[in-house]
Amino acid sequence: MGITGRTRCGYYTGRLEKPWLDIPATGDQIHMRFHEFYRFEGDTIVEVQAIWDLPEVMMQAKCWPFSPSLGTEWHVPGPTTQDGIHLFEEDKSLTAQSHQLVLDMLNSLGKFAEGGVAAMNLDKYWHPKSNWYGPSGIGTGRGIQGFRNTHQEAFLNGMPNRVGDPANGHLFSENNYVGFTGWPGMSMTISGDGWLGIVPNDKSITMRSLDFWRNENGMIRENWVLIDLLHVYRQLGVDVFARVKQLTRNKYR
């Protein structure tokens, strides 16, 4: 039996009619992004790695437990090309090109320690009008500077020693799309100020993430990113759901 993987992303939607995970019912339509990875052995799913953007639901239920986002919070769209579901044959040469583009970009990100932001050569890989769709709590940034303002600058200032774990990170590519799963995919120490308003505490943590990129004419045009922020806070000793209960215990009585 061969071992294969499948990835998908999108959003679930429905009415929040009953409390869920201590998130209060609103009776309103809500949406929740998901990124999911499935590992198969033959025709059987043997492992699932999934991140559901629960903070996105908290935000819509008006029980936001985190610091304000640096980026735009909104209903993140699907691909602008409307071709996220492939119903056509794979172009293996395009797949190889897309895979190498993202791999080279990720390797270039690792050069921060050698020469700072300039050493990453972001403009070599990212389209000037690219969109970086981060998780709720971080938000969306437009273009390279938007990505830096929304996420990268604070991320690197707070955890300059972050390093990827090649044993846990895996890329999956098809035509102009590339997916990544890492469980965890990175490890780092919170030694500086700025990321998510977390106080520097020299605490070592790991980070789970599931990412998707859409490439266009040899450049990255869109990037959907979910980070398991609840797991990050749990490693820091913060019970996010207890905070949600505190925020809502009087309001929804």
Burial pattern 214-234, b for ≥16 Cβ within 10 A else e, equals bbeeebbbbbbbbbbbbbbbe
Residue 43 lies in a domain: no
Question: Which amino acid is located at 86 in the chain?
Answer: H
Of 3-12, 96-105, 157-166, the poorest mean pLDDT is in: 3-12
CA-wise closest residue to 147 among 131, 165, 124 = 131
> Does residue 159 sit within a domain?
yes
In a domain, 49, yes or no: no
pTM for the complete prediction? 0.94
Residue 171 maps to which CATH number? 3.10.450.50
Q: pLDDT tens across 96-138, in order? A: 999 999 999 999 988 876 777 888 899 999 999 999 999 999 9
User: Is residue 147 domain-resident?
Assistant: yes
Strand partners, 141: 132
The answer to whether 225 and 200 have CB atoms below 8 angstroms apart is no
Residue pair 138/228 in contact by the 8 Å Cβ criterion: no
Cβ pair 214, 79 in contact under 8 A: yes
Query: What string of DSSP letters covers 231-253?
Result: HHHHHTT--HHHHHHHHHTTTT-
pLDDT band at residue 215 under the 50/70/90 scheme:
very high
What pLDDT sits at residue 2?
Answer: 46
Residue 247 CB-half CA count within 13 A = 17
**Under 8 Å between Cβ of 179 and 37:** yes
Taking phi over 0 as left and psi of -120 to 50 as alpha, with beta for the rest, 218 belongs to left
In a domain, 171, yes or no: yes
Within-domain flag for 34 = no
Question: What is the pLDDT at residue 252?
Answer: 55
Q: Is residue 207 part of a domain?
A: yes
Residue 85's domain comprises 68-240
- What's the mean per-residue pLDDT of the chain? 93
pLDDT tens by residue, 166-181: 778 889 999 999 999 9
pLDDT for 1 equals: 37
Asked if 187 and 206 touch (Cβ cutoff 8 Å), the reply is: yes
- Count CB atoms within 10 A of the CB of residue 172: 17
Closest CA to 141 of 223, 71, 37: 71
Instruction: Please give the helix or strand (H or E) that residue 122 lies within, else none.
Output: helix 122-125
Number of structural domains in the chain:
1
* 79 within domain boundaries: yes
Residues 147, 132: Cα–Cα separation, whole Å: 6
Which pLDDT tens digit goes with each residue over 63-96?
999 999 999 999 999 999 999 887 778 999 999 9
Q: What length is written for the chain?
A: 253
CA-based radius of gyration for the chain:
19
